[in-house]
Structure 1
Amino acid sequence: MLTLGLSSEPLRKGATGSHLQKFTVRPESVEVVEGGDVLLTCVVENQQGKAQWTKDGFALVRRGGGAGEHHLAITGATLTEDGEYQCQVGPTSVSPPIWAAANVTVILPPSGVSIVGWGDGAQVEVLAGTSLNLDCEVLGGRPAPRVAWMRGGAPLPPELQDDSTRVSSEPRRWDTRSRLTVNTLPADDGVPYTCRALHPTLASPATLIPNAPSQPSPMEATVTLSVLRESPGATNHHRLHPGRGGRGGGAAHHHLYLQGGNPRPWVLWYRNGNLLDDTTTTSSFLSSSSDGGQEEVGVAKVVVNAHELVLTPQEDTALLECRVSNDLLKEPLVANVTLTVYYAPASVSIRGPAQVGAGDTLNLTCETSDSNPPASITWTLQGEVVENSKSVVAKDGAGGWVTSSRVSQRVDSAAVSPLRVECRALNPAVEQVIRRTTTITVTRPAGPPVFQD
């Protein structure tokens, strides 16, 4: 809508020398966001001719001669108000015509932004080491919009993008297309790439054109890369090493951490070739990297299979194997360990006579059940350690070791009956003692008869 400001009554006096009609305030060119308001000012001194405003050479409003202000107000500007405006004052017999021009440029925000072929927030799968073209279109802006690219929220250098502008299908507007070429690395996995439209109508509140209606800011589209690679990144094994042992009855914690790997790898534990655990989970941790002397801290994702294995004698010499695979691996990655479990004998037994004659030799044998490593045997007779025992160690069919010990001891003729005998088995690796105690009756021949009163 156009409105002409009021003028004062004309002055009827001659115009010579310094009294010629002239502009003291000229209209100035201005940009306005569609829907905004504009005021073009025009002040004439010593006005004598008739004043009028024109747009692109066509008269808008005509007023009589006189000295005064001639202001043109535009409210709710649309594209029809875009053009060149002139404040004109006609000639008289004593004064030539004068005019002053200004341009009104109506600017319009882009109608949309998109990354071609992908919806906003889409995940783009790409093989590591390949080149990926991301094309961004910003449509329908006036003037032509510009484009900025960001990686993970950080601006990318403009020289990495190739931009072009074309006339839009919408009248008096322009479209901009920008191509960003990404040479994908494993570090790009999970990283968002954002295309942001740059335009005066989308500026921050501090730089918006005065009197422009509020506009959404920013206008952008984002995709997230999913970088496919056949091998996981750094691995970290926490496990029992070959030759190291755990105590029987305890638990061994076996963890395999895999940083990276895309598609997401599967982590499986096997025991002697049989599937043991397939509970693969994903977790995150803080990671840091150094590039050119600057350290960057971020969140890294890892795939984890944490298996807890209860250690029993049956786990001794078991082959524990971890296999890692994904859809791109031809063969799984494999790591394995042979378990060594230390355990004490579950029991000991004593073989020998239940009675022995005074003065005779007592022969006893003590034998352990299987243990690892072999147990050592100690004898005591009536609480005193017997020194002349002999031990033999043999491999047990179950995989452990059996220790047997034989002792021969002459029974004193004055020995107290019964004799208390103890066999002690000690596993030095687990410091656990297993005991077995027995009693043996000492017999004596009858003595000479004794007469009693």
Structure 2
Amino acid sequence: MCATTRNLVAVLCALACVAGFQQQYFRIVPRSLRVHEGSEAVLECAVANLAGQVQWAKDGFALGFSSVIPGYPRYTMIGDRRHGVYNLRIVNSTLEDEAEYQCQVGPAQMHKVIRANASLTVIGKCVYLRIVNSTLGDEAEYQCQVGPAQMHKVIRANASLTVICKCVYLRIVNSTLEDEAEYQCQVSVLTLG
């Protein structure tokens, strides 16, 4: 009789545990960001009921579970692990950082794998803005040209990249003193797929 009672208690405890069990889930889902070249980007990720290990991936390449990411000296995983916060911080953003990122939480015990995506867009700086010709009352033409450092992107195995390089012009016809202003040109990587 005593063994039967113990088995019944064990079954009831197991059922109570399963009934109260909650899967790990994203408390804060990563959101896509647009940042200016040279600035800091922080992709947020917070997990509730965390049981598995957390890592970030960039364009499908896993960055690892450590807060210091080997091979990516400008990347760190920051946050409060006790509260399930695993943000990816990228300092001094460059056009090479523009990618699809994924916060990945691995399986553990009865917890399933969960993943959430966010893209990072880096708005590049204009290398120079050159006045082609300008006379008051005449036509003013400005040229924005990007340098070679901004026109390349890391190419992974079995991938191809087509670069369409184009100078961007701003033309002001019949310029007046009212046209005097600060003009800005922004560059972004275009991925053809």
Q: TM-score, structure 1 length as denominator?
A: 0.27
Residues in 1 aligned to 2:86 and 2:149: alpha-carbon distance in whole angstroms: 38
Match of 2:69 in 1: none
Q: Does structure 2 retain, via aligned residues, the 8 Å contact 1:16–1:94?
A: no
Cα distance, 1:194 vs structure 2: 4.3
Structure 1 residues 56 and 16, CA gap change in structure 2 (3 angstroms): farther
Mapped pair 1:45 → 2:54: no
Residue type of the alignment partner of 2:88: L
Match of 2:37 in 1: 34
Match of 2:170 in 1: 178
Cα distance, 1:47 vs structure 2: 1.8
Structure 1 residues 169 and 61, CA gap change in structure 2 (3 angstroms): closer
Matched residue pairs, number?
Answer: 144
Match of 2:121 among 90, 99, 105: 105
Q: Unaligned stretches of 5+ in structure 2?
A: 1-16, 67-81, 153-164, 188-193
Mapped pair 1:88 → 2:68: no
Q: Does structure 1 retain, via aligned residues, the 8 Å contact 2:126–2:144?
A: yes
Residue type of the alignment partner of 1:49: G
Q: Does structure 2 retain, via aligned residues, the 8 Å contact 1:137–1:177?
A: yes
Structure 1 residues 52 and 26, CA gap change in structure 2 (3 angstroms): same
Structure 1 residues 101 and 52, CA gap change in structure 2 (3 angstroms): same
Residue type of the alignment partner of 1:137: Q
Cα distance, 1:101 vs structure 2: 1.5
Structure 1 residues 169 and 47, CA gap change in structure 2 (3 angstroms): closer
Cα distance, 1:174 vs structure 2: 6.3
Greater relative CO (CA pairs within 8 A, separation 6+)? 2
Q: Give 3-state SS (helix, strand or coil) of 1:80's partner.
A: helix
Residues in 1 aligned to 2:37 and 2:18: alpha-carbon distance in whole angstroms: 43
Q: Does structure 1 retain, via aligned residues, the 8 Å contact 2:127–2:146?
A: yes
Cα distance, 1:170 vs structure 2: 4.3
Residue type of the alignment partner of 1:179: R
Structure 1 residues 87 and 26, CA gap change in structure 2 (3 angstroms): same
Match of 1:429 in 2: none
Superimposed CA distance per residue, residues 180-230 of structure 1 (whole angstroms, 9 cap, x where no aligned partner): 333xxxxx8xx54547423579xxxxxxxxxxxxxxxxxxxxxxxxxxxxx
Please report the RMSD computed on the Cα atoms of aligned residues, expressed in angstroms: 3.7
Residues in 1 aligned to 2:167 and 2:18: alpha-carbon distance in whole angstroms: 54
Residues in 2 aligned to 1:50 and 1:139: alpha-carbon distance in whole angstroms: 44
Residue type of the alignment partner of 2:172: L
Match of 2:89 in 1: 73
Q: Give 3-state SS (helix, strand or coil) of 2:142's partner.
A: strand
Residue type of the alignment partner of 1:21: Q
Match of 1:54 among 52, 57, 79: 57
Q: Give 3-state SS (helix, strand or coil) of 2:96's partner.
A: helix
Superimposed CA distance per residue, residues 324-354 of structure 1 (whole angstroms, 9 cap, x where no aligned partner): xxxxxxxxxxxxxxxxxxxxxxxxxxxxxxx
Match of 1:115 among 109, 131, 136: 131
Residues in 1 aligned to 2:122 and 2:145: alpha-carbon distance in whole angstroms: 17
Q: Does structure 2 retain, via aligned residues, the 8 Å contact 1:27–1:100?
A: yes
Residues in 1 aligned to 2:39 and 2:120: alpha-carbon distance in whole angstroms: 12
Identical amino acids, percent of aligned pairs: 31
Q: Does structure 1 retain, via aligned residues, the 8 Å contact 2:95–2:150?
A: no
Cα distance, 1:87 vs structure 2: 0.7
Mapped pair 1:138 → 2:144: yes
Residue type of the alignment partner of 2:151: P
